[in-house]
Structure 1
């Protein structure tokens, strides 16, 4: 790669939005092999799974096809359980021309695509750190755009840009300090009278058997000790919202999330989703001082037991409105 091209990549700001279109790039033809190596260096392999290669990330989960399939299943289950994609009182606004929506940590982009199809008058921007998950252009409605961005470096939009901001199931992605900074930045880009909505689970199992409860506790401890991530972030988000003078009309809703064949197909796939999530936390077996085979056998035994006890957990939605522009912030 030419020295000029290479330096431009090294010195690029970490919150820069990248557009991956080689046809419109300025790279020389003989740079392609080095460009390919650079893209491959974006990932690392640990315990047989692919992760983003960024020391500043605290995300617990890999970035590979297995996680993409699991996140797709998780989205479909969540949409079914909530009977929709949001609870904030924004439906009328979303059907008004010029309305703007921001989705943080969009993953495969199903939420954004659904919103784009259901609300064609709105414009949706979905951001994620890993562009490999993004759908192709022919899979997206014309009012949906996907951008590569790491939210911990800042949301790359001016203040008062969006009418609705959505952030969902990001319990594994940020430390508490990062959550505070990200929420402040999301409120900054939210318009006055706009709404912000969070969706996060309580990982504490209801009717949970002792063995599976112990496994979730191990998960919580491992995440805290190794990455600094608090998987019980659902407890902290209301505190962060209430502490912000810019937000008002705080609301909280929750649903039960049953797991196991005792609850039909939903329960069957919900339990499978939990199992895949635990298998994706690849450092957990080592933390528990066991081999991968021992860990998977443990999961099989515990999940048979869990189905018998009809376990479930709770998922919360929190939403609040940014104060009117005419209301002074003290």
Structure 2
């Protein structure tokens, strides 16, 4: 890749943010809100729409709720992902993780299942897990002693010095950042990554393979709504390898994928992955208005559409990308 091409990808203004606030639907629905919803919008850290709770952050693109139902869904996602990949990571760093003093960073940790798993499996390492919403963090008595949770909005920067972590993990953050924010975030994660350390991304391709026309249309509408409402490209999996290749500090890029069956046609795993998809689409509470139907109509359509996944034996792909930070070399004199 030419230097000019790399510069076009990596030179993003640091002050570029998206002012989201779910303005797309908040104003037009304001007169229908009850007093608790209005108070939530004005006074609280959270705002409520269609019975779901969202973080009330001006520069936040994240278009999924921040409530108990979403914690349950993200927990299910972690379990399914770990099973499908037969583990929590693919980077060639297992030996180092079992060495005393090794440090890991988990970005957008949610309820912290990945960090807890890694803490239990690698007790010699220390794991710091960050997320913008501390209400998702597990109680201290449910965490290994080598795992720490920290409230952090990654859009504002990662609050650690350069060369801090041996391993950085970022998983299923497809709905969280604009493309410009992804570039800035990756640059900052490289900054805090140690030389010879590894960074790993796990993101889905939301396009349904063998999908019926109705469910495929609904998922396309979901992707368009994420783009139009919050400026988020949920197909970010396509961009990440390009971003990595544009970063001179990274080398040894590896790209891997697994298929992810959706529907009871694939047994227990497929049943739970279909349940996860249904929970995800129901969490997109802005979607019914975006496609111009009522919530009741949407739920009825969703129930019918999900049947297609079993009939057509649908699946998606999940991608992993991992790369190593280039060793610091002594200057040639």
Residues 208-257 of structure 1 deviation map (CA, whole Å, 9 limit, x = unaligned): 11111111110111111110000000000000000000000000000000
| Distance in 2 between residues matched to 1:207 and 1:136, nearest whole Å | 41
| Distance in 2 between residues matched to 1:261 and 1:44, nearest whole Å | 35
Is there any run of 5+ residues in structure 1 with no aligned partner, and where? 1-36
Compared with structure 1, are the counterparts of its residues 143 and 288 closer, same or farther at alpha carbon in structure 2 (3 Å cutoff)? same
Residues 242-299 of structure 1 deviation map (CA, whole Å, 9 limit, x = unaligned): 0000000000000000011110110000001001001101100000101111001001
Tell me which of 77, 81, 84 is aligned to 1:81.
84
Q: Which residue of 2 aligns with 1:95?
A: 98
The TM-score normalised by the length of structure 1 is: 0.87
Q: Which residue of 1 aligns with 2:129?
A: 126
Matches within 5 A, 1:26-175: 41-175=44-178
Q: Secondary structure at the match of 1:86?
A: coil
The yes-or-no answer on 1:210 pairing with 2:213 is yes
Tell me which of 320, 323, 328 is aligned to 1:320.
323
The yes-or-no answer on 1:281 pairing with 2:281 is no
| Distance in 1 between residues matched to 2:55 and 2:331, nearest whole Å | 43
Q: Secondary structure at the match of 1:163?
A: strand
Is there any run of 5+ residues in structure 2 with no aligned partner, and where? 1-39
Tell me which of 202, 207, 224 is aligned to 2:227.
224
How much is the aligned-residue C-alpha RMSD, in angstroms? 1.6
| Distance in 2 between residues matched to 1:215 and 1:281, nearest whole Å | 12
Q: Which residue of 1 aligns with 2:251?
A: 248
Compared with structure 1, are the counterparts of its residues 160 and 303 closer, same or farther at alpha carbon in structure 2 (3 Å cutoff)? same
| Distance in 1 between residues matched to 2:331 and 2:301, nearest whole Å | 56
Q: Which residue of 2 aligns with 1:198?
A: 201
| Distance in 1 between residues matched to 2:293 and 2:130, nearest whole Å | 37
Q: Secondary structure at the match of 1:165?
A: strand
Residues 34-75 of structure 1 deviation map (CA, whole Å, 9 limit, x = unaligned): xxx9xx711111111101111111101000000000000000
Tell me which of 284, 290, 296 is aligned to 2:293.
290
Q: Which residue of 2 aligns with 1:24?
A: none
Compared with structure 1, are the counterparts of its residues 328 and 173 closer, same or farther at alpha carbon in structure 2 (3 Å cutoff)? farther
| Distance in 1 between residues matched to 2:327 and 2:59, nearest whole Å | 36
Q: How many equivalent pairs are there?
A: 293
Q: Which residue of 2 aligns with 1:239?
A: 242
| Distance in 1 between residues matched to 2:225 and 2:148, nearest whole Å | 36
| Distance in 2 between residues matched to 1:305 and 1:202, nearest whole Å | 19
| Distance in 1 between residues matched to 2:330 and 2:180, nearest whole Å | 28
Q: CA deviation at 1:327?
A: 6.6
Compared with structure 1, are the counterparts of its residues 261 and 325 closer, same or farther at alpha carbon in structure 2 (3 Å cutoff)? same
User: Where in structure 1 do 4 or more consecutive aligned residues deviate above 3 Å?
Assistant: none
Q: Which residue of 1 aligns with 2:8?
A: none
Residues 173-228 of structure 1 deviation map (CA, whole Å, 9 limit, x = unaligned): 00000000000000000000000000000001111111111111101111111100
